[in-house]
Structure 1
Amino acid sequence: MNKLLCVICLIISLLSQVSAKELTFGVSISNSAQREAFYTLARQFEEANPEVTIRFKALTSEVYKQAFPNYLQIDKHFDVLYWHSGQRLFEYAEDGLILPITQLWKDNQLDLAFDHSVSKSLIYNGDVYGVPISYYQIGFYYSKPLFKQLNLHEPQSWDELLSMCQVLKEAGVPPIFIGTKSNWPATAWFDYLNLRLNGLAFHKDLTAGKVSFLDERIKKVFETWLQPMKMGCFIEEHQYLSWEEGLPYLYRDLVGMSMLGNYVIQNIPDSVVENIGFFPFPLVQTDQPSFEEAPIDVLLIPKNANDPDLAQRFLAFASQPNIQKELNATLGVLSPHSAAQGETSSLVKEAYEVLSNASGVSHYFDRDATKAFADQAMPVIDAFMVNQDIEKTLAKLEEIRLANFDSTN
């Protein structure tokens, strides 16, 4: 009898081992709210699939970006990875390092769930390569008490923004915080000025290497950008500051405003978040439609995934509107799913309204350009905010363009 029980127990143990599944999930995080959001997503999937255990690996944003190519090419532990849509996705799809999920997309009717502008940032050579989970709008966050004290109003035009900077300067307050020690804030300014002056189609051609940086239209972008620099609108010694360091300045009324993604809302203490306002990048010329910057984050399956079928189940789960609604409520950003727009903060609602009314969106320079081009060009754009030398900057950017693209427009 004892032998029989031992055999039965052994069989049960073996069956449980066979049926147990493990999925390894890698994500990029910038704050504790992001860690909580993705951890909750993993636990929700486990609850819906009791036979599955998720191994969760989170790295800070810059570390993750550096590690990501190895995760695809060398490391064979990951089943699902967090990444970005657009050119950054397409490069790895072209190299055959990501599995297409076209059938999953069709089976779950995701074309009905996501806008065409979202889905086309996932499609390479007719195949879909990721499930979009979040996106965010880049715009200005400002101190409401400071604006009220100085009788300032949200600017509608570039000239109004410059006038507002002058008022803040005269009051002894740095008008605009920017942290160019971080690799993206200066390029976001460049992107927006190019969109406002030259439009979305031109901007896409530029990031694709089809436009010379010696073009007069690009020179106009830098000339326009130079105006607030010469006025002293930006906080001093910004090259030694990161974007995160600006948040305490903002909610302690020590700076007028800062241009950021709306994911920063989760980094602002609840006690002061009501004192923060939002406005989009103002129009520079009235005849140009309002295009916005809205990076999209996705989940993808590496070609070397241990369990591609389980990974597809996880992506299908993450595409559900109720899951995306909860995920993005915790992240403090927006869901690209049309049925996942729930209750959220007033700042997130304002950002959503801006994107809903936009004539089109770009995804940010390093997501619209190739990695090699962006990695070389963005530090030059950062440096412009220190050297303020237009001719030198344009010449260097053109040199980089010619080194990365066959076209010599």
Structure 2
Amino acid sequence: MKLTRRILMGAAAGSFILSAGAATAQQTELTFWSWRQEDKAFYQDAIKKFQAKEPNISIKFETYAPENYQTILSTALAAGRGPDVIQVRAYGNLETIATPGYLVALDKNNVPELANFPEAALAAETLRSDGKVYAVPFAMQTQLVVYNKKIFKDNGLNPPKTWDELMSLAQALKAKNITPFGNGTATAWQNETIVGGLLSSMLGKQFEEDIVSGKANFTDARFVNALAKLKDVSQYFAPNFTGVDYPSSQQLFVAGRAAMFAGGSYEVANFKNQNPTLDLGVFPAPVLKAGDQALVATYYDGGYAVNAKSEKKDAALKFIRYLATPEYGTAFTNTLKNLSPIKGIKIEDPITQEVAKLTENAMSYLMLVRFRYQEPSGSVLLQSNVQKMLAGQQTPEQAAAEINKGIATYYKPFQK
């Protein structure tokens, strides 16, 4: 009897070891790369929630510096390596890694949750040459003006609606030794965000349509006049603004030493994280004259893709399907104060609700959405020439001509 009992116990123990080994063998670890170091805590929490649904899949989240990310990613993918799940950019930057075949094409069969997105969001993650979607969109960003409500209230000011109101407000603030705008222009890409935040209403949807159709180009009076207005208002930017870089301009606003900041909706969460006492509001680019339509500039920030060389595609697809659900989109929006484009999300934060309302009247963040597919990039042309113009090295007419000249080298409607 004792011998029989020992045999049975040994068999049971062996069975336990085998089953434990089988469970371990079923565990799949995915690698997930991103440039969003500041969002690491959120992503780690999202991964835990996913793993509660899929306990046999673990995910290692890794981040890289934004300025180096695209190069590091492209190099890894070209060598047949890289992560299983990739946070990718949109528009032209997506095409650089989708065109060589580095990403898995997504459709309603492998990711049914694509139905949760508006067409414009999917278009941002679509390769133009084959019309296929290669990433699940993750955010819609909005270019506008963020303002310090306390400074406005203490000085009896309201958000301006027209350009003249903005200029009067800025003058009144400066007269009280308050810096109207925290913005500087030393960091080149900031010049593009300033254009989007301040000039969208003045340019208007019709201008965008005319540019895309070829009825107008960037020497158009609407664009030149808008640049001239930007030159005028730059006198109210940070002191010695041409030498003020992006981190310094942020700190000026975070410290409560500037009343406004022209930039993206993505700034709000960062500002609040650095200074929780800030009471912030947002407003769209002021219109040229009363009665014109106030607009913000919007774009889709990127998406989640699957590496075509991954040996764990099924698990990776399960993860990005989760990243396409309203449950995830709601958490993303309310935690990061960034608008998820997923339909059916519930927005809790009042400022994010305000941003979402403003996006109902929007034009494209023009150079990123329309002219960042070829070289010289429209964004680089805009950034460098506006930077020179605001430094007094070019007139608005000269800046517009240089921008147009660069885009015309490849954009056929401008070659007529």
TM-score by length of 2: 0.84
Aligned: 1:327 with 2:332 = yes
How far is the alpha carbon of 1:200 from its aligned partner?
3.2
Residue 188 (structure 1) aligned to one of 167, 180, 193: 193
CA distance in 2, matches of 1:30, 1:347: 23
Aligned: 1:118 with 2:125 = no
CA-to-aligned-CA distance 1:183-237 (integer Å, 9 cap, x gap): 43211232356632333354366589995433333322222222213xx111123
SS in structure 1 at match of 2:257:
coil
Residue identity in the other structure for 2:257: L
Aligned: 1:389 with 2:391 = no
Match of 1:199 in 2: 204
CA distance in 1, matches of 2:290, 2:131: 37
CA distance in 1, matches of 2:91, 2:141: 15
Residue 47 (structure 2) aligned to one of 42, 50, 53: 42
From the superposition, tell whether residues 235 and 204 of structure 1 become closer, same or farther in structure 2 (CA, over 3 Å).
farther
How far is the alpha carbon of 1:314 from its aligned partner?
0.9
From the superposition, tell whether residues 261 and 398 of structure 1 become closer, same or farther in structure 2 (CA, over 3 Å).
closer
From the superposition, tell whether residues 224 and 72 of structure 1 become closer, same or farther in structure 2 (CA, over 3 Å).
farther
Task: Work out whether residues 110 and 317 of structure 2, in 8 Å CA contact, stay in contact via their aligned partners in 1.
Answer: no
CA distance in 2, matches of 1:287, 1:30: 42
Aligned: 1:400 with 2:406 = yes
Task: Work out whether residues 162 and 287 of structure 2, in 8 Å CA contact, stay in contact via their aligned partners in 1.
Answer: yes
SS in structure 2 at match of 1:309:
helix
CA distance in 2, matches of 1:251, 1:221: 28
CA distance in 1, matches of 2:83, 2:255: 42
Unaligned runs of 5+ in 1: none
Match of 1:141 in 2: 146
Task: Work out whether residues 329 and 342 of structure 2, in 8 Å CA contact, stay in contact via their aligned partners in 1.
Answer: yes
How far is the alpha carbon of 1:349 from its aligned partner?
1.7
How far is the alpha carbon of 1:90 from its aligned partner?
4.1
CA-to-aligned-CA distance 1:351-384 (integer Å, 9 cap, x gap): 11111x31x4414633432253146413333332
Residue 156 (structure 1) aligned to one of 148, 161, 169: 161
How far is the alpha carbon of 1:155 from its aligned partner?
0.3
Match of 2:299 in 1: 295
Task: Work out whether residues 219 and 394 of structure 1, in 8 Å CA contact, stay in contact via their aligned partners in 2.
Answer: yes
How far is the alpha carbon of 1:157 from its aligned partner?
0.9
Unaligned runs of 5+ in 2: 1-6
Aligned residues: 400
Aligned: 1:216 with 2:243 = no
How far is the alpha carbon of 1:287 from its aligned partner?
6.0
Task: Work out whether residues 133 and 299 of structure 1, in 8 Å CA contact, stay in contact via their aligned partners in 2.
Answer: yes
CA RMSD of aligned residues (A): 3.1
CA-to-aligned-CA distance 1:91-142 (integer Å, 9 cap, x gap): 543443332111347633x33x323332333334432222122223222122
TM-score by length of 1: 0.85
* Structure with the greater alpha carbon radius of gyration: 2
Residue identity in the other structure for 2:64: L
How far is the alpha carbon of 1:54 from its aligned partner?
0.8
CA distance in 2, matches of 1:403, 1:37: 43
Match of 2:74 in 1: 69
From the superposition, tell whether residues 242 and 66 of structure 1 become closer, same or farther in structure 2 (CA, over 3 Å).
farther
CA distance in 2, matches of 1:382, 1:251: 23
Residue identity (%): 19
Aligned: 1:353 with 2:357 = yes
CA distance in 1, matches of 2:215, 2:66: 30
User: Could you tell which deviates more after superposition, 152-161 or 16-25?
Assistant: 16-25
**1:230-379 to 2 correspondences below 5 Å:** 232-269=235-272, 272-286=276-290, 288-296=292-300, 297-344=302-349, 346-355=350-359, 357-358=360-361, 360-363=362-365, 365-371=367-373, 372=375, 373-374=377-378, 376-377=380-381, 378-379=383-384
CA distance in 2, matches of 1:66, 1:182: 20
From the superposition, tell whether residues 306 and 367 of structure 1 become closer, same or farther in structure 2 (CA, over 3 Å).
farther
Task: Work out whether residues 278 and 347 of structure 1, in 8 Å CA contact, stay in contact via their aligned partners in 2.
Answer: yes
SS in structure 2 at match of 1:294:
strand
SS in structure 1 at match of 2:266:
helix
How far is the alpha carbon of 1:171 from its aligned partner?
1.2
Q: Which has the higher contact order (CA 8 A, sep 6+)?
A: 1
CA distance in 2, matches of 1:213, 1:322: 42
SS in structure 2 at match of 1:335:
coil
